Amino acid sequence: MKLRAIAVLLLVLMSLSWQGHTRVEAQTGPTAGDVQLFELPEGRAVSMSPDGAKLAAVVPPSTSLCVYDVATETEINCADLSGLNSGIRTEDIVWSPDSTRLAFSEPVFRYFDDGDLWVMDAATGSLTNVTDDHYDGPIVISAPDGVTYYADVAPTWTPDSQFITFSRTTFLGKESQGNTIAQVSAAGGEVETLANVSAEEPGVFYFGGGWSPDGATFYYSVSYVESDNPDNGIWVYYPSTGDTHMLAASDPELGPLALLDVSPAGDRLLGWYPLAAGQFGLSKVGLLTFVEPASGALSPVPDPRGNNDAGSFGAFSPDGRYLLQAAGIGAGSLDYWVTDLATGQSTEVASDLDFAIPIELGLGPVWATDGMVFVARSLDGYYLFPITGAGLSAVSQPAATPLATAVAGSEPLTVGADAITTGIAPIYAGPDTESPMAVFLPPNHIVRVLADPVENDEGIWYPIFDPQSQIIGYIQANRLAPIER
C-alpha cells in the first residue's frame, strides 16, 4: 500500500477513534476553575510533579523532603535529610519528567562545605547519593591539601528521566580545577564529563540548565564573579558533536542572564536575571525575557496588565503555546494571567492570591500535564486551580513505563513494534505541523508503530497508535526511540 493511501486510511481511522472519545483541545480562551488554598502540616511547598499527582515540600532547616498526594492531601513519605553534609539547596529540587523521582543538590557554595547530588524515590522516600566523592569536609579555604573532591549543583533531568545533567566543580585541596558539565545515571554510577565551562573559576554554571524536548541540545547558564564578563549568559551544548557556544549575552545593567525554563514545544527559552531579582525583588518588571533557541535573539515577555508589574517567575503550558505569569506589585496580593504566545492575548485566570510567590528565587508555578496549576503560598501552603481552554493536557502515562535506551531518531523503528516518547510529543492528523493536532503525549509514553515512515521537508514522521487514548496519527521521528527490553 502506498504511503499516501496509508495516510488517508489513518485519517479515517483517527476520525472514527474520536467518536465516543473525549479529546482535549484548545478552546476560544483559557478559563480557570476554583482556586483552592491548602496548608501543609509542616514544611514549605516547593513544586508539583509534572503529571500533577504529587507535591514536594521541604521541612526547614533541611530536616526532611516530603512528598504529598495532591488528590488526597495525604503524605506519601518523607526522606530524612540528616545524612546531607550541608543541607538541601531548595531551588535545585527538580522532578523527573516521568514524575517518579526528585533530584537535588546541597548549597556547597553558600556554606563552603562539601555536598553531593542526591535522588529521592517519590514512592518510597529512599535517598541515593549519586555522586558520592567520599569527602565531607570544608571546601576551598580550609580543605586538606592533596585531596580531590567535587561540588555538584544545578541538576537537570534528561527528557527520558534516565540521567541527570549537572554542574561539577573539581577541587584539589584549596584550589579549583575548573567547572564542567557532567552527567550521571539516576541510579548512580560513573560520572561522565560532557563539556568544559571554565578552566579555573568554580561554580560558573550555577543558576540552572535544561534540555530541549528532543534531547538534541542542552542549555546552561554561565555566571562569572565579574558581572561584566563577556562570557556571562546562556550557552548551548550539542551532545552530537560536543560543541559549546554562547547563545545569548547578559545585560550590563541587570547582570548575568540565566535560563529559567525550556518550552515543552522547544521553540523558545524563558530567561531571567537572578542577581537583579535578588536585588530588586520578584515584582520588578523586565526580569524575564524570551530567548530564541537557534539565534539567541531576545524578545520581551508580555506584560499582561500593561502596568509594568509583571513578576519575575512564570511557567509554560504543557504544550508550550501559553505562558502563565504573575502580575502585581509586591507579594501581598498577586493576580495570575495566561498569555497566548501566538497572539499575545492575555487572560486573567486567578485574582488576589495572597503571598502567591515561591519560597526561593528560581522556583515558580507549575502547569501540569493534567491542566492543574500549582502556586506556592510563600512559607505556609500552596494554591491549586485548573486551567481549561489553553495548553492541551497530555494523556496520563502508564505506571511502569520502560525507559528508552536509544537516542530519539537515531535508528529506524520497526513496523508493528512499540516505541517510546523521549519528550512531550504531539500527535498530528497528518505528517506535518499544519495538520490538526489530536493530543500531547508525555515523556516515556509507549505507542505502536503502524507503518513505514513518511519523509518531507519537516523531517521523518511515523504513523502510530496510542493504546491509551485510542488515537491514530503521526509523531516526528526525533521524538521517538525504540524500546530495548
Domains and CATH numbers, the chain: 3-24+395-482 (2.30.30.40), 38-388 (2.130.10.10)
Is the alpha carbon torsion for 265, 221, 104, 60 positive or negative?
Answer: negative
- Is the Cβ–Cβ distance between 217 and 181 less than 8 Å? no
Say which residues have a Cβ less than 8 Å from residue 399's Cβ, sequence separation at least 6: none
For the cut 60, the answer to whether the pLDDT of residue 408 exceeds it is: no
pLDDT in tens, 418-460: 898 887 677 888 898 777 766 667 777 889 999 899 998 878 9
Residue 255's closest CA among 219, 237, 279? 279
- Is the Cβ–Cβ distance between 166 and 119 less than 8 Å? no
As a whole number, mean pLDDT of residues 301-318 equals: 83
What whole-number distance in Å separates Cα of residue 139 and Cα of residue 446? Answer: 45
Residue 273's closest CA among 248, 292, 291, 255? 255
As a whole number, mean pLDDT of residues 73-85 equals: 93
Other residues' Cβ atoms within 10 Å of the Cβ of residue 457: 5
What would you report as the CA-atom Rg of the chain, rounded to the nearest whole angstrom?
22
Q: Decide the pairing of beta strands 446-449 and 459-466.
A: antiparallel
Q: Decide the pairing of beta strands 44-48 and 36-39.
A: unpaired
As a whole number, mean pLDDT of residues 124-153 equals: 92
pLDDT in tens, 181-216: 999 999 999 999 999 999 999 999 999 899 999 899
Is the alpha carbon torsion for 206, 124, 401, 13 positive or negative?
Answer: negative
> CA 157: distance to chain centroid?
8
For residue 414, give the amino acid letter. Answer: T
Q: What is the pLDDT of residue 8?
A: 38
What whole-number distance in Å separates Cα of residue 284 and Cα of residue 386? Answer: 27
As a whole number, mean pLDDT of residues 251-262 equals: 92
For the cut 50, the answer to whether the pLDDT of residue 24 exceeds it is: no
Residue 142, classed as helix, strand or coil, is helix
Q: Rounded to whole angstroms, what are the CA distances from 473 to 252, 450, 460?
A: 48, 10, 14
Percent of residues, the chain, with pLDDT higher than 70 = 86
For the cut 80, the answer to whether the pLDDT of residue 156 exceeds it is: yes
Say which residues have a Cβ less than 8 Å from residue 5's Cβ, sequence separation at least 6: none
CB hemisphere CA count around 184 (13 angstroms): 24
Q: What is the pLDDT of residue 330?
A: 64
What whole-number distance in Å separates Cα of residue 294 and Cα of residue 241? Answer: 16
